[in-house]
């Protein structure tokens, strides 16, 4: 046996469990504001992801038990479900989980090897394949679990009763109709800073994210970069034309901005790895996401932004290598 002969008590499992723990406040807020339907889809996605992981590992003749229990598939499943509308039908959740684990993760070589964020890849695949289902968001404040369960487990999709336009959707439609931002924001879909109800979930993600930073589970540069990228871009446009562009605070509190800041762009496998590279990667994702939201064809653009930046990671990493010890020393 060779040195070092001692190791910190750390494990991949512990890393993943910390992430799951940090998601708890956001999920709790979700259940409180939107309804418990999300828990059903979380359970379905977890089961599907674990089954897919085990199956592919077996097919690939890799150690099944060690990797299935590392928790990474569960993290992927949860992040995917939290990015999806919580009332998508069960089969869509299963399909998404399969796509994330089999296509986005294992086809590239499994954990640690995938260039694209699996949860975001699944989101993109599903929103392209099922644009209608992926756009039906539950309305805040109703929390009708029976109705949500009905939608998830099948049967008819009488969605009008439980769905509502999201904040980003309402803003987008309003602006298309040439309304003023302030007039739009005065409608019932909005709360203090973002979508009514949804802003609490964003606060939950923020709390979990700060816990991750405090425990050094994630690098602060990634959330900071994303928030600065999206918030900074929004700020520039908002200052220039406040009647046509929503405030940076609105953008950061709406949609998946907080989830992305602390849980999506922070995926170590697919993010840039150098200190400066992390800032560039996350800021790029934030900027692109804002442009897709405001000028693109989809109300939420984070998934596309993240995948686009994933492509750039090798280049970013290569160009931002930190100086080794003594390299900056002048003789």
Partner 1 sequence: MIARLFSFRGGIRPDSHKKESSGAPIRPVPLPARLVVPLIQSSRGGARPIVTVGDKVLKGQCIGEAEGKTGTAIHAPTSGTVSEIGRYPMAHPSGLESPAIVITPDGEERWIAHEPLDLATASRDELILRIQASGIVGMGGATFPSHIKIGKDSTIETLVINGAECEPWITCDDRLMRERAADVVRGAMILRRLNGARRVLVGIEDNKPEAIAAMSAAARARMDTEDADGGARIDIVTVPTRYPAGGERQLVRVLTGIEIPANRIAGDFGVQCFNAGTAHAVCRALVHGEAMVARIVTVTGDVERPGNYEVPLGFPVADLLALCGVRPGVDRVLMGGPMMGFTLPKLDAPITKGSNCIIAASPGLFPPAPPEQPCIRCGRCARACPAGIQPFDLYWFSRSRNFDKAGEYHIFDCIECGCCAYVCPAHIPLVDYFRFAKSEIRARDEERRAASQARARFEFHTFRLEREKAEKAARLAAKAAETRASLSAAAKADAAEQNVAPPPPKPPT
> Interface residues with partner 1 (CB under 8 A)?
1-8, 10-12, 14-15, 63, 66-67, 70, 72, 110-113, 216, 219, 268-269, 273-274, 317, 321-329, 331
* DSSP class of 192: S
Q: Is the CB of 241 or the CB of 324 nearer to partner 1? A: 324
Count CA atoms within 13 Å of residue 219 on its CB side.
20
Distance CA 282, CA 277 (A): 8
Give the shortest CB-12-to-partner 1 separation in angstroms: 5
Q: Is the CB of 182 or the CB of 321 nearer to partner 1? A: 321
Give the shortest CB-52-to-partner 1 separation in angstroms: 17
Give the shortest CB-130-to-partner 1 separation in angstroms: 30
Q: In the chain, how many H helices and how many E strands?
A: 15, 0
Give the shortest CB-55-to-partner 1 separation in angstroms: 18
Give the shortest CB-122-to-partner 1 separation in angstroms: 19
Please spell the DSSP secondary structure of 144-164, one letter per residue: -HHHHHHHHH-S----TTTB-
Give the shortest CB-307-to-partner 1 separation in angstroms: 17
Q: Is the CB of 140 or the CB of 307 nearer to partner 1? A: 307
As a 3-state breakdown, the chain gives helix, strand, coil percent values, each rounded to 5, of 65, 0, 35
Give the shortest CB-153-to-partner 1 separation in angstroms: 34
Name 96's bridge partners: none
Choose among 255, 302, 253, 300: nearest CA to 282: 302
Q: Is the CB of 80 or the CB of 212 nearer to partner 1? A: 212
What are the two backbone dihedrals, phi and then psi, of residue 163, each rounded to the nearest 5 degrees?
-100, 165
Question: Coil, strand, or helix at residue 231?
Answer: helix
Q: Is the CB of 172 or the CB of 278 nearer to partner 1? A: 278
Q: Is the CB of 244 or the CB of 318 nearer to partner 1? A: 318
Distance CA 186, CA 73 (A): 41
Q: Is the CB of 178 or the CB of 216 nearer to partner 1? A: 216
Token pair in block for residue 22: 């940090």
Say if CB 267 and CB 100 are below 8 A apart.
no
């Amino acid at each position: 046996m060779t040195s070092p002969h001692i190791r910190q008590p750390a494990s991949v499992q512990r890393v993943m469990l910390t992430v799951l723990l940090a998601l708890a406040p956001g999920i709790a807020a979700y259940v409180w504001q939107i309804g418990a339907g999300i828990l059903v889809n979380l359970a379905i996605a977890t089961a599907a992801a674990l089954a897919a992981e085990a199956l592919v590992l077996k097919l690939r003749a890799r150690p099944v038990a060690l990797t299935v229990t590392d928790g990474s598939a569960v993290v992927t499943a949860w992040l995917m479900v939290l990015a999806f509308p919580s009332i998508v039908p069960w089969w869509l959740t299963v399909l998404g989980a399969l796509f994330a684990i089999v296509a986005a993760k294992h086809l590239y070589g499994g954990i640690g090897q995938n260039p694209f964020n699996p949860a975001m890849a699944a989101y993109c695949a599903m929103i392209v394949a099922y644009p209608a289902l992926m756009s039906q968001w539950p309305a805040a404040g109703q929390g009708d679990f029976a109705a949500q369960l009905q939608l998830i487990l099948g049967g008819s999709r009488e969605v009008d009763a439980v769905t509502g336009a999201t904040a980003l959707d309402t803003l987008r439609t309003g602006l298309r109709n040439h309304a003023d931002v302030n007039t739009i924001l005065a409608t019932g879909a909005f709360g203090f800073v973002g979508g009514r109800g949804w802003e609490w979930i964003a606060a939950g993600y923020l709390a979990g994210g700060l816990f991750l930073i405090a425990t050094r589970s994630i690098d602060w540069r990634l959330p900071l970069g994303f928030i600065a990228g999206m918030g900074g871009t929004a700020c520039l446009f908002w200052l220039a034309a406040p009647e046509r562009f929503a405030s940076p605070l609105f953008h950061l509190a709406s949609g998946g901005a907080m989830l992305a800041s602390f849980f999506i762009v922070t995926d170590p496998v697919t993010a840039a790895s150098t200190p400066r590279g992390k800032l560039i990667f996350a800021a790029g994702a934030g900027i692109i996401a804002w442009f897709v939201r405001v000028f693109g064809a989809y109300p939420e653009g984070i998934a596309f932004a993240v995948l686009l930046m994933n492509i750039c990671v090798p280049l970013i990493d290569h160009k931002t290598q930190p100086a080794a010890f003594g390299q900056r020393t002048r003789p």
